[in-house]
């Protein structure tokens, strides 16, 4: 099995999974918070916030990547801040790839979670409060569990998006084997080289398999969510 | 445990302006839908805030807009049984029941799971999910969930309104048991005369966001022209004297006479409240002859009020309790009915209804 793929190819797959997982896990709390604000908040600028969250979905990925480079590059304002405060460098590192993937998947995640929060009957939350639960407990014991199908769907969508992310990532963190070369970047590099066709095809098949698995999982969760809503 | 409420709240075009004192036992909030009953209960529970006013529970101020006091719903220790149950769909019946108990400090808990499960007859449901329960079962679990939070006071907002007649009959005895065994003060919202007559000690008549009348059930219902003439009636208290399974009737005794009603499930000696609608009462002057009507009560006319139609409302005194009769204007003239006159009130057996 190990001979099927070269070490570089394994590297790309491993890096892709790591980048996508970190991107999804780290963005999840923010995704839930933003979804809650968009679903429940009634404040000035809500539409603007909604627009900003959705921007990565409609902008060319290259533009998103370039903006990330400007902001999170070592000389960018946010990049400098993170490096000085947390010692965290994004530029040309796998962390930068995770940041790019997280941001590209964020609108999909927020959308799925928001829809499921909006479908929750708030009367159930009232019932919980009359039983002695404060706001935080109502959220943890009623809102969050009832939004769980949407949260899981959002996680799958964001993860799948991260696996396929190419444009923003290559623009922001380039295409360094072992550092920032994820599966899509590796395929891109392989088809540029004369003998790379076979390897590119192998990675392509693996890519398809992973995406398909994610799709099937999200479909299954969507169905469960629909069943839960009618019960 | 008493409530002292004086609140005002504007909800859209609707204006709620309530002043109310409740006593121990069951206080019914009675009125048409849209009269403001549910808003009042939500104010008491802390789900909405009044514009002005205060709510005091047994000396403990829950709301006072003057002093900016507002105790959050979760800290009021007021149980709330909603019309639609509102069980948590993601939790089993057992977890639903224990939700409030889990949030109640150990020292404040009263009643255990077993006791409440027993009281409500929900033993067999514990492992099920709410979506697998019937409407009546859901409502019993909802009552149990509210009780297990060990509240000082219980609010019930039309807990039977969404149920059919059979389901109502299934749950009413449990609420009666709750009233009789728990000594938990209850505010019970309903637009059903039958439910209120059967359950409540006192009734507050709510109309257009105001309390129109407050007092013992019998008194308030006797002056109940406001609820619509057709349904007006009075509530009497009678004791079960005998059960007659062969003829399917229950014999009741009242100070003013005896009553025969369709079978009511109750032990001999139990005090029942029964409702008699004004339109089901016939008046006779002197001793009536041979009649098919079995129920005859000795009565005295207290007052005669001209209705809006050709009917006349007659207020009676039967053994010290108020009762209403509705007769035609012609009958008043022919029988020479006047206040102070002794009459016999004839009530069709089928008109009596304990539910």
* Digit-coded pLDDT (tens) for A93-123: 999 999 999 999 999 999 999 999 999 999 9
Q: State which residue of chain A sits closest to B84, comparing Cα positions.
A: A123
Token reading at A228? 């839960």
Q: Which of A73-82, B5-14, B222-231 has the lowest mean pLDDT?
A: B222-231
pLDDT at position B72 over 50: yes
Q: State which residue of chain B sits closest to A137, comparing Cα positions.
A: B103
CB contact under 8 A, B149 and A132: yes
Question: What is the rounded end-to-end Cα distance, in angstroms, of chain B?
Answer: 27
**Residue A207 · residue A184 · CB < 8 Å:** yes
Q: How far is CA B164 from CA B29, B168, B176, in A?
A: 21, 6, 18
Alpha carbon distance B284, B138 (integer Å): 48
Domain ranges of chain A: 2-230
Interface mutation vs chain A, best among B44, B74, B151, most A CBs within 10 Å: B74
Q: Which residues, 6+ apart, have CB-to-CB distance to B289 below 8 Å? A: none
Which residues 112-141 in chain A show a CB within 8 A of chain B?
A: 121, 123-124, 126-134, 137, 141
Quick one: pLDDT at residue A166? 92
Taking contacts as CB-CB distances below 8 angstroms, the residues of chain B near A129 are: 46-47, 72-74
For A11-18, what is the mean pLDDT? 92
Q: What is the DSSP code string of B243-292?
A: EETTTTEEEEEETTEEEEEE-----TT-EEEEEEEGGGEEEEES---S-S
Quick one: pLDDT at residue A29? 97
Q: To which residue do tokens 């009536």 refer?
A: B288
CATH number assigned to the domain covering B3-226: 3.40.50.300
For B125-136, what is the mean pLDDT? 91
Does any CB of chain A come closer than 8 Å to the CB of residue B217?
A: no
Q: Which residues, 6+ apart, have CB-to-CB distance to A215 below 8 Å? A: A160
Rg value, chain B, Cα: 22
Say how many C-beta atoms besides its own lie within 10 A of residue A72's C-beta: 25
Alpha carbon distance B171, B159 (integer Å): 9
Does any CB of chain A come closer than 8 Å to the CB of residue B49?
A: no
CATH number assigned to the domain covering B231-351: 2.40.50.100
pLDDT at position A191 over 70: yes
Q: B239: closest CA among B343, B354, B348, B351? A: B354
Complete edge-to-edge strand list for the sheet that includes strand B210-216: B78-81, B153-157, B186-190, B26-30, B202-207, B210-216
Measured at the CA of A170, the angle between CA A169 and CA A173, to 5 degrees, comes to 75
Q: Which residue stretches of B33-134 are H helix?
A: 37-45, 93-102, 113-120
3-state helix, strand, coil in chain A (%, to 5): 80, 0, 20
CB contact under 8 A, B100 and A146: no
Alpha carbon distance B131, B138 (integer Å): 9
CB contact under 8 A, A231 and B89: yes
Domain ranges of chain B: 3-226, 231-351
Q: How far is A124 from chain B (nearest CA, A)?
A: 6
- pLDDT tens sequence across A125-175: 999 999 999 899 999 999 999 998 889 889 988 998 999 899 999 999 999
Structure-model confidence comparison of residues B197 and B41, the more confident one: B41
Domains B3-226 and B231-351 share a fold: no
With bands split at pLDDT 50, 70 and 90, how would you rate the model's confidence at A225? low
The shortest CB-CB distance from A231 to any of B131, B146, B149 is to B131
ipTM above 0.85, yes or no: no
Taking contacts as CB-CB distances below 8 angstroms, the residues of chain B near A126 are: 47, 73, 86
CB contact under 8 A, A130 and B78: yes
- pLDDT tens sequence across B218-263: 778 766 654 445 566 777 888 888 888 888 888 888 888 888 888 8
Alpha carbon distance B198, B193 (integer Å): 8
pLDDT at position B32 over 70: yes
Interface mutation vs chain B, best among A125, A129, A132, A150, most B CBs within 10 Å: A132
Structure-model confidence comparison of residues A84 and B278, the more confident one: A84
For B80-87, what is the mean pLDDT? 92
For A185-206, what is the mean pLDDT? 90
Token reading at B106? 């150990």
Q: State which residue of chain A sits closest to B153, comparing Cα positions.
A: A130
With bands split at pLDDT 50, 70 and 90, how would you rate the model's confidence at A38? very high
With bands split at pLDDT 50, 70 and 90, how would you rate the model's confidence at A22? very high
CATH number assigned to the domain covering A2-230: 1.10.3720.10
Provide, rounded to the nearest whole percent, the portion of chain A with pLDDT above 70.
95
Between strands B311-318 and B271-277, the pairing is: unpaired
Alpha carbon distance B351, B355 (integer Å): 12
Quick one: pLDDT at residue A119? 92
Q: How far is A38 from chain B (nearest CA, A)?
A: 23
The shortest CB-CB distance from A142 to any of B47, B79, B88 is to B88
Q: Which of A70-84, A217-231, B331-345 has the lowest mean pLDDT?
A: A217-231
For B77-92, what is the mean pLDDT? 92
Q: To which residue do tokens 């599966």 refer?
A: A183
**Residue B293 · residue B258 · CB < 8 Å:** no
Taking contacts as CB-CB distances below 8 angstroms, the residues of chain A near B103 are: 131-133, 137
Query: Which of the 8 DSSP states describes residue B353?
Result: B
With bands split at pLDDT 50, 70 and 90, how would you rate the model's confidence at B81? very high
Provide, rounded to the nearest whole percent, the portion of chain A with pLDDT above 90.
63
Q: How far is B181 from chain A (nearest CA, A)?
A: 22
- pLDDT tens sequence across B278-313: 888 888 887 777 787 778 888 888 888 766 566 788
CB contact under 8 A, B74 and A131: yes
- pLDDT tens sequence across B159-182: 888 777 777 877 888 888 888 887
Does any CB of chain A come closer than 8 Å to the CB of residue B79?
A: yes
Quick one: pLDDT at residue A86? 92
């Amino acid at each position: 099995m190990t001979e099927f793929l070269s070490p570089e190819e394994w590297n790309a797959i491993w890096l892709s999974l790591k980048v996508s997982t970190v991107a999804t896990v780290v963005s999840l709390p923010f995704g839930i918070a933003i979804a809650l604000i968009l679903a429940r908040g009634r404040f000035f600028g809500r539409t603007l916030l909604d627009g900003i969250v959705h921007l990565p979905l409609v902008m060319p990925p290259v533009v998103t990547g370039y903006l990330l480079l400007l902001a999170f590059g070592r000389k960018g304002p946010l990049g400098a801040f993170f490096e000085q405060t947390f010692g965290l460098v994004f530029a040309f590192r796998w962390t930068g790839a995770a940041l790019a993937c997280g941001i590209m998947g964020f609108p999909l995640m927020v959308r799925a979670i928001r829809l499921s929060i909006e479908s929750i009957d708030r009367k159930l939350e009232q019932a919980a409060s009359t039983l002695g639960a404060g706001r935080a407990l109502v959220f943890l014991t009623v809102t969050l569990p009832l939004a769980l199908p949407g949260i899981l769907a959002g996680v799958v969508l964001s993860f799948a998006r991260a696996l396929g992310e190419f444009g923003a990532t290559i623009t922001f963190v380039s295409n360094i084997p072992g550092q920032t070369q994820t599966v899509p970047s590796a395929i891109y590099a392989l088809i540029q080289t004369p003998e790379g066709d076979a390897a590119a095809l192998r990675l392509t098949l693996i890519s398809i398999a992973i995406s398909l698995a994610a799709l099937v999982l999200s479909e299954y969760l969507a169905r469960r969510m629909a069943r839960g809503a009618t019960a | 445990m008493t409530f002292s409420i004086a609140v005002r709240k504007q909800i859209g075009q609707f204006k709620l302006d309530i002043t109310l004192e409740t006593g121990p036992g069951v206080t019914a909030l009675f009125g048409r839908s849209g009269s403001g009953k549910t808003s009042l209960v939500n104010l008491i529970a802390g789900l909405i805030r009044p514009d002005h006013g205060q709510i005091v529970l047994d000396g403990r101020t829950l709301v006072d807009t003057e002093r900016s006091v507002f105790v959050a719903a979760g800290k009021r220790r007021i149980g709330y049984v909603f019309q639609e149950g509102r069980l948590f769909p993601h939790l089993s019946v057992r977890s639903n029941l224990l939700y409030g108990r889990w949030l109640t400090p150990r020292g404040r808990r009263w009643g255990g799971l077993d006791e409440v499960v027993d009281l409500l007859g929900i033993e067999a449901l514990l492992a099920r999910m709410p979506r697998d329960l019937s409407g009546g079962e859901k409502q019993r679990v909802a009552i149990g969930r509210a009780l297990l939070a060990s509240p000082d006071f219980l609010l019930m907002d039309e807990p039977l309104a969404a149920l059919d007649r059979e389901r109502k009959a299934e749950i009413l005895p449990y609420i009666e048991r709750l009233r009789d065994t728990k000594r938990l003060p209850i505010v019970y919202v309903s637009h059903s005369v039958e439910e209120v007559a059967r359950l409540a000690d006192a009734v507050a008549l709510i109309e257009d966001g105001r309390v129109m009348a407050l007092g013992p059930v019998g008194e308030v219902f006797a002056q109940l022209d406001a609820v619509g003439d057709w349904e007006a009636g009075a509530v009497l208290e009678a004791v079960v004297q005998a059960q007659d399974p062969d003829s399917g009737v229950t014999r009741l005794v009242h100070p003013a006479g005896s009553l025969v009603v369709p079978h009511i499930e109750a032990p001999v000696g139990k005090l029942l409240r029964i409702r008699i609608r004004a339109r089901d009462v016939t008046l006779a002057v002197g001793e009536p002859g041979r009649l098919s009507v079995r129920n005859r009560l000795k009565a005295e006319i207290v007052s005669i009020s001209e209705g809006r139609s050709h009917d006349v409302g007659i207020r009676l005194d039967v053994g010290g309790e108020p009762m209403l009769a509705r007769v035609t204007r012609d009958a008043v003239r022919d029988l020479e009915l006047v206040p102070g006159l002794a009459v016999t009130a004839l009530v069709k057996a089928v008109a009596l209804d304990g539910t």
